[in-house]
Every structure is written in structure tokens, then in C-alpha cells.
Amino acid sequence: MTLDELLRRHAGHQAGGASDGVPSWTRGCFRRRAITFCTGETDSETLVLWLQTRGLTADLRLPARWLSVAGATPLAERPPEELGALADVLGRFEGGLAQTRWDGRAMHWTDWTSFQTHDRWPEPGLLARVGDCLIEQAPSGAYVEDWRLQPSAPGPLIGLRLVEQRNLTTGQIDHRGGGLVVCGDHAALVLGRPRPLDTSRQTRLDEFVRANLHDRAALRAVFAFEASVAKRPRAGDDFTVVASTNPTREGEALGALGEFTREGDETVKQRLQTAGGEIERRFTIDTLEAHFTASLATPATAAAEAWLAREARTLLAASRASDRG
């Protein structure tokens, strides 16, 4: 069955029950406007996207120079001197998928399937939201992030955690970990490496790349990972990749909506035809909801609403819908 048929037949699944999911105001697709560190420095150039279901986070972080690494040649096949020059940029690529838990005030992330080989963000996030603005603060005071909810037509909320992707033609496992997340018009696909990199000598990815510039097998292992975010113009259209840890993927179809089958209460399988043969993905279910609306408004007290109504003529004179960027 298609993903839409899967939703029609099996929608309503909530991992752990509704009370165990993250708050509704944290669900959807967010784009970071800026991060400010305790040093007073601010980064508003890095492209950061966050997609959230009831129990899964998918994210993608790409440096301002990320488009400079795009091209027809896969990154693993680039000349050593070119990859050596790009190592610093590659060290700033981030993308992955994690389990999330809400404790009433903070969001916690665990069990990451990540492009990077060390944990850059070990702290939970203290979250608060007003309108389309979600503020995340590190409990230590190290940084604060300004996120903006991305507008979307009503659509599905889907969270499927990937167990493995197997090539049925060769019998090999291509990917372990990751998953598929859909929030209305936005989607993310994360495909983890089939096995962890040997980082016993180099714990950071940029160091690993520099140390293995002449080892094609090691480089292929580095790039046997994908975190892509996609968007569709309207319901029913294909999702098109807008950003990815694999820069050659931009502009392509996400390719994540093949034939699905439900197996038991917690498992979904998917089959797809690819250039390398037929593949099968096995997922566990986090969220399967057919109807999700990403509301840009948030509640306020009656006194606050009355105040804004009184002062709207002046306070809202220069306001407009956020550009979400």
C-alpha cells in the first residue's frame, strides 16, 4: 500500500500514548533563525532544520559554505587534496535522528543516528514558544536558539524509525538506524551507516577524513549516510530535497514513499526499486497521524489578548507574518 493508504488504514498510532509525547506546540518543522552563545557571538548563517513528531527528532545543520561542495562527483570519490581542503566544512555538516522525551520543561534527545561521530549537543533543551517563535535554551547558559515554525498545509504527522535497509538484490545491509519523518508539507529521511566508523584513533569526523584521504573504503564508509530534508508544494505532490548532507541530492525526489506493509503493532516494511536493485526498509512506528496542523499561533491569557486588541493599531502597524527564516 502507499503511505497515504497506510495512514488511512492505521492512523492514530502514538508511541507510548499521547501523554508521553512531546507537547503539540513542539511538533512540526522549524528553521533556526539564530543561535547566540554565552560569549556574545551569534550565528545566523548556518542552515538548521528541525522536524519533530511525538517521539522523534530529525535535524539537519549545514554551514553557509555547504553549496560549495556540491557537484556531480560523489564526495567519497573526490581527489584526496579536494577532500582534505573540505574537511573543515564536512566537520560542520550535521544531520541525524533521535528519540525525544519531554519532562515537563525540557526536551531530551537520546539514541542518535548521526552523521558526526561525537556528540556536539549533550544538553537537553529548555523550550518555550510564543507565536511561531520557539526558544530553546541550554540549562548551562551556554547558548540560546531562536527557531521559527515553518508554514504548512494540514497533512500527516509520521515518525518511522529505521531498523535497517537491505538490498534484496545483493543481500547486503546498506543502512542501519535513522528514519522517515513527515510533518505536513515537510519531510526528512535519515539513513545511517551500515556499521559505525572505527574512530578509536580519531573521534571527530573531520580528523577521520584527513587521516583516511587515501583510503577509498574508509571514505565510502564516511559517506554511507544521508540526512535529507524535503518539501512538497501541495498535498499529493512528490517531496523534493531542499537540503542534504549529500549535496548532490538537492532537487531530487526524496524517494521515500514506496510500497508499505504493516506487520504487527509496531513494525512497517517498505520496498523500493532503486538503481542498485530492490531494497527493503524495516521501521518501527513512533507516530502515524493522518491529520496534523502546524498552527502559527499560541495561547495567551485573556488579559494579554485584550491588551493586544487595544494596542493593535499601533503595535501591529509594522508587523507581518514572519518569513520563518
Each residue's pLDDT tens digit, 162-193:
999 999 999 999 999 999 999 999 999 999 99
Read off φ and ψ for residue 6, nearest 5 degrees.
-60, -40
pLDDT for the residue numbered 60: 97
Mean pLDDT across 67-89: 79
Domain assignment present for residue 325? The answer is: no
pLDDT for the residue numbered 17: 43
Mean pLDDT across 19-46: 94
pLDDT for the residue numbered 105: 92
Output 37 or 262, whichever has higher pLDDT.
37
CA pair distance 49, 265, nearest whole angstrom: 30
pLDDT tens for each residue of 55-69: 999 999 998 867 666
Domain assignment present for residue 321? The answer is: no
User: Helix (H, G, I), strand (E, B), or coil: what is residue 294?
Assistant: coil
DSSP class of residue 239? P
Q: What is the domain extent for residue 153? A: 3-315
CA pair distance 55, 81, nearest whole angstrom: 42
**Total domain count, the chain:** 1
Query: Confidence band (pLDDT; 50, 70, 90) for 10?
Result: confident
Cross-strand partners of 136: 127, 145
pLDDT for the residue numbered 126: 98
User: Hey, which of 63-77, 94-108, 263-277 has the most confident mean pLDDT?
Assistant: 94-108
C-alpha cell at 161: 524509525
- Classify the C-alpha dihedral 240-274-51-267 as positive or negative: positive
pLDDT for the residue numbered 320: 66
pLDDT for the residue numbered 110: 96
Whether 30 and 52 have beta carbons less than 8 Å apart is answered as yes
**pLDDT for 71 beyond 80:** no
Determine which of 5-9, 189-193, 203-207 has the lowest per-residue pLDDT on average: 5-9
Domain assignment present for residue 323? The answer is: no
Domain assignment present for residue 320? The answer is: no
Mean pLDDT across 126-130: 97
260-293 in b/e burial notation, b at 16+ Cβ within 10 A?
A: bebeeeeebebebeeeeeebbbbbebbbbbbebe
**pLDDT for 194 beyond 70:** yes
Tally of CA atoms within 13 A in the half-sphere of 291 that contains its CB? 0
CA pair distance 136, 143, nearest whole angstrom: 9
Domain assignment present for residue 247? The answer is: yes
Query: Confidence band (pLDDT; 50, 70, 90) for 70?
Result: low
Helices (H), the chain: 3-10, 80-90, 205-211, 216-222, 302-315
What's the chain's average pLDDT?
A: 90
Whether 193 and 226 have beta carbons less than 8 Å apart is answered as no
Terminal alpha carbon distance of the chain: 36
pLDDT for the residue numbered 14: 56
* DSSP letters for 177-197: SEEEEEETTEEEEEE--SS--
Query: Confidence band (pLDDT; 50, 70, 90) for 233?
Result: confident
pLDDT for the residue numbered 18: 43
Domain assignment present for residue 276? The answer is: yes
Q: How many residues belong to the chain?
A: 325
Domain assignment present for residue 322? The answer is: no
Q: Where are the beta strands (DSSP E) in 103-238?
A: 106-114, 125-130, 133-137, 143-149, 155-167, 173-176, 178-183, 186-191, 226-231
Determine which of 133-137, 138-142, 202-206 has the lowest per-residue pLDDT on average: 202-206
Domain assignment present for residue 210? The answer is: yes
Q: Is 294 exposed, middle or buried (0-12, 13-18, 19+ CB in 10 A)?
A: buried
User: Helix (H, G, I), strand (E, B), or coil: what is residue 130?
Assistant: strand
pLDDT for the residue numbered 16: 42
Q: What single-letter amino acid sits at 312?
A: A
pLDDT for the residue numbered 67: 62
Q: Which residues contact 150 (CB under 8 A, 6 or more apart)?
A: 28, 29, 30, 31, 186, 294, 324
